[in-house]
């Protein structure tokens, strides 16, 4: 063989080897967006998702997480997932209801009497029924992340009954069910992305907002809102959604890992939330010598130290809020569909028999 031919063959061999090596080390990079702050249970769960996928695929898939709305507000991220420019996001059901009307089922106000009832319903056949509506709208729902039961803060007055909210400017998520819920109580709703809330409260653009007290403290909303009502009006559940076309092109082995990761995320997220709920403390830290976790002051203690007045509703007061929601339930039964709506309400009634404290 001539020298030129040998060099040519060697060159081809080298190119092939480089291609094989580069292919073997190639990595699928997935973006996963959400709006929770990094210290929140939802963010902890999403980070666990990324770690699980990396380990189970031996580094073939890298999930890059983007917390605190780095990729945009929830509606924007939902649009990005739907269009295929973003692979994964955790979006509240309330915001997703703009795209999948049936998603309004979960954030219906005052329907869950407690967390145990909610989990029993969410882990039942209701989940599959709900998620079956997502593919037609461009989404594949893999599981739930969550925030918490939502409470109310405001800068004007104590809230004990629906009429007390009349005329207040309250920040709400961009969701029809949230807007309808608070309009029913006479609120002037102000849809606004989560990262903009603190400045709006500080500048008086809005009078209040609805988030779990724990979140409100961590985000420093209670520095400028001195009235808190523990309403627990809505449990904020945030499905992990993927673009349906991207999902359908994934190898089955990767789909399996991502579904497993979503389940793992749910367990971690709920566990973190329950830990905070049970300890009722914030700003925990580790003892540098023993490694043991040292609880911080209670959530209520932190709020009260900031001069916050905490109003805890009596059962009858909470029932008055629920009764005020009757027109909302009637409207959303038609939007969601009577079959799904009625099955959901029946399941809540069924499991509540066994989930009472």
Instruction: Specify the CATH number for the domain of residue 178.
Output: 3.40.190.170
More confident residue, 17 or 311: 311
Residue 18 lies in a domain: no
| Mean pLDDT over the full length of the chain | 90
* CA separation for the pair 103, 237 (Å, rounded): 10
Angle CA(84)–CA(172)–CA(204) in degrees, nearest 5?
A: 125
Reported pTM: 0.84
pLDDT digit string, tens, across residues 56-110: 999 999 999 999 999 999 999 999 999 999 999 999 999 999 999 999 999 999 9
Residue 36 lies in a domain: yes
* Tally of structural domains, the chain: 1
pLDDT digit string, tens, across residues 198-212: 999 999 999 999 999
Domain that holds residue 272: 27-279+296-352
Confidence of residue 48 (pLDDT cuts 50, 70, 90): very high
Residue 2 lies in a domain: no
Residue 15 lies in a domain: no
Residue 326 lies in a domain: yes
Confidence of residue 18 (pLDDT cuts 50, 70, 90): very low
* CA separation for the pair 173, 179 (Å, rounded): 8
The DSSP string of 127-189 is HHHHHTTSGGGTEEEEEEEEEEE-EEEESS----SGGGGTT-EEEE-S-HHHHHHHHTTT-EE
Please name every residue paired with 310 in a beta bridge, in sequence order, or none if there are none: 228
Q: How far is CA 129 from CA 126, 181, 223, 319, 339, in A?
A: 5, 24, 42, 28, 10
């Amino acid at each position: 063989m001539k020298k030129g031919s040998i060099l040519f063959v060697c060159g081809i061999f080298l190119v092939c080897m480089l291609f094989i090596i580069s292919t073997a080390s190639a990595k699928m990079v997935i973006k996963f967006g959400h709006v929770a702050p990094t210290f929140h249970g939802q963010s902890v769960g999403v980070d666990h998702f990324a770690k699980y996928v990396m380990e189970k695929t031996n580094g073939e898939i890298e999930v890059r997480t983007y917390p605190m709305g780095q990729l945009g507000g929830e509606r924007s991220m939902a649009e990005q997932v739907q269009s295929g420019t973003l692979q994964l996001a955790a979006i509240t059901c309330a915001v997703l209801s703009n795209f999948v009307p049936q998603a309004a089922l979960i954030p219906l106000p005052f329907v869950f009497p407690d967390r145990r009832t909610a989990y029993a319903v969410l882990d039942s056949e209701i989940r599959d029924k709900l998620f079956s509506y997502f593919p037609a709208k461009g989404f594949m729902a893999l599981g739930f992340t969550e925030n918490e039961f939502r409470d109310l803060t405001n800068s004007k007055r104590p809230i004990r009954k629906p009429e007390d909210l009349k005329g207040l400017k309250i920040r709400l998520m961009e969701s029809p069910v949230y807007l309808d819920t608070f309009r029913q109580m006479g609120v002037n709703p102000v849809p606004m992305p989560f990262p903009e809330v603190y400045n709006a409260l500080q500048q008086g653009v809005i009078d209040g907002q609805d988030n779990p007290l724990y979140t409100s403290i961590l985000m420093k909303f209670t520095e400028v809102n001195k009235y808190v009502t523990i309403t627990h009006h809505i449990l904020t559940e945030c499905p992990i959604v993927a673009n349906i076309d991207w999902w359908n092109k994934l190898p089955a082995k990767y789909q399996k890992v991502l579904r497993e990761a979503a389940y793992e995320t749910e367990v971690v997220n709920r566990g973190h939330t329950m830990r905070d709920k049970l300890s009722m403390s914030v700003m925990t830290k580790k003892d540098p010598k023993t490694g043991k976790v040292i609880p911080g002051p209670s959530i209520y203690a932190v709020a009260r130290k900031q001069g916050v007045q905490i109003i805890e509703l009596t059962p009858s007061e909470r029932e008055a809020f629920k009764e005020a929601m009757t027109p909302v339930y009637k409207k959303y039964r038609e939007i969601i569909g009577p079959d799904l709506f009625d099955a959901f309400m029946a399941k809540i009634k069924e499991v509540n028999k066994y989930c009472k404290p």
